[in-house]
Amino acid sequence: MYRRTMLRAGGALAAAAYAAPALSQSGKWPSREITLINPNAPGASTDLTARIVAQALEKRLNATVIVKNVVGGAGALGPSTLAAATPDGHTMGLVAISSHITVPNMMDVKYDPWKAFDVLGQVASLRYGIGVRTESPIKSIEELIAQGKQKLLTYSSNNVTNVVAMFQLAKLSGAKFRWVVFQGGVESVTAAIGGHVDAVIQTVAEMKPQIEAGKLRFLASAATERWPDYPDVKTLRELGFDAVTNGPFGYAFPAGVDPAIKQRMESALADVMADKAVQTQISNLGIVPTYRNGADYAAFLKQIEGELVPILRETGMSKKKAA
């Protein structure tokens, strides 16, 4: 961490001085194992994806890639550790809405999300949908809205990232929906099929087993596209509501990595994501393999920030006052 502060404080001069040894370093990079920091527990969809990507990167970089779960601090420990790591190309980590938007807005972290990372690219996006239990009288989004105008409806979800579409839908339609926070995605879905809440917004991976089993009725895709497995179910946009939940995730180096190394890692990642076997493994998890290069991915996160920050304020989750 000390080194990072020094680097920033030193400014251009230090950066120039640092570049010379770093260049010679890039020749033999990677010179040891590469650590991929994941802020979620083993078994989380980001963790499973990281293990698939790490295995594919190993072949292309000729180096061991270890997934390290740095779990804790309500998601803050992972990105904080990444931001403080030595930028020598041997530490990379997950960057997503959590690292860039929710965590910095909800907690006091020591890193500036828009300056601390060299973003390498996006690898996947979680695809969200809205469902109700099969026994529910609600059969469409229109009926959900009609009911929500008569009385307060509850819906379950485990993360503020997920609920963007429901907040937007409530605002656009005037219906009243209340978010009930559950601990995990599957718990949310279970609460809906048990009839404890009126609806649920979660990812495909979490909803699909229950849709297949006929326990959950899939009302609409909350993504920009329809779900490939359910081509008949429309998106909220197609139904006339400009409401979308995005769930991208990708990887970054801590800022200050030799551009040559960054270049090689970015292209290795692009190559991994073009690999059909990798795509199939990720798709099997119910996650959409989605590639964006570093610059595009950083810009995409910035766009989502604009949508999410007002919701964080509304739910009382943001501790930062409006600027």
Residue 11 Cβ, how far from another protein at the closest point, in Å? 27
Binding mask 248-267 for another protein (x = CB under 8 A): --------------------
What is the β-pairing status of strands 247-254 and 117-126?
A: antiparallel
Nearer to another protein, 154 or 293 (CB): 154
Smallest distance, another protein to C-beta of residue 296, A:
28
- Least Cα distance to 241 among 164, 126, 160, 136 occurs for 164
186 sits near another protein (criterion: CB under 8 A): yes
CA–CA dist 285, 287 (Å, integer): 5
Residue type, 263: Q
When asked if residue 208 is in the footprint of another protein (CB under 8 A), the reply is yes
Helix 259-274 vs helix 2-27: angle between axes, to the nearest 10 degrees? 70
Residue 162, φ and ψ in degrees, nearest 5: -70, -30
List all residues 6 or more positions away from 96 whose beta carbon is below 8 Å from its beta carbon: 46, 247, 248, 249, 250, 301
Assess whether the previous peptide bond of 248 is cis (omega < 30° from 0). Answer: no
Q: Render the burial of 245-269: b for 16+ CB within 10 Å, e for the rest.
A: bbbbbbbbbbbbbbeebbebbbebb
Q: Which range in 14-22, 142-150, 163-171, 183-191 contacts another protein by CB under 8 A?
A: 183-191
Q: Rule CB under 8 A: is residue 209 a binding residue for another protein?
A: yes
Could you tell me the smallest distance in angstroms from the CB atom of residue 203 to another protein? 12
- 15 part of the interface to another protein, by CB under 8 A: no
Terminal-residue alpha carbon distance, the chain = 28
CB of 284 to another protein, least distance (A): 5
Among 3, 32, 178, 302, binds another protein (CB under 8 A): 178
Q: CB 54 → another protein: shortest distance, Å?
A: 8
Binding mask 84-123 for another protein (x = CB under 8 A): ----------------------xxxx--------------
Residue 228 in contact with another protein, rule: CB under 8 A:
no
Helices 45-61 and 259-274 cross at an angle (nearest 10°) of 110
Residue range at the interface with another protein (CB under 8 A); choices 11-19, 51-59, 120-128, 141-149: 51-59
Q: Which residues bind another protein (CB under 8 A)?
A: 41-43, 45, 47-48, 51-52, 54-55, 67-74, 76-77, 80, 106-109, 152, 154, 160, 178, 180-184, 186-187, 190-191, 193-197, 205, 208-210, 212-215, 281, 284-286, 315-317, 319
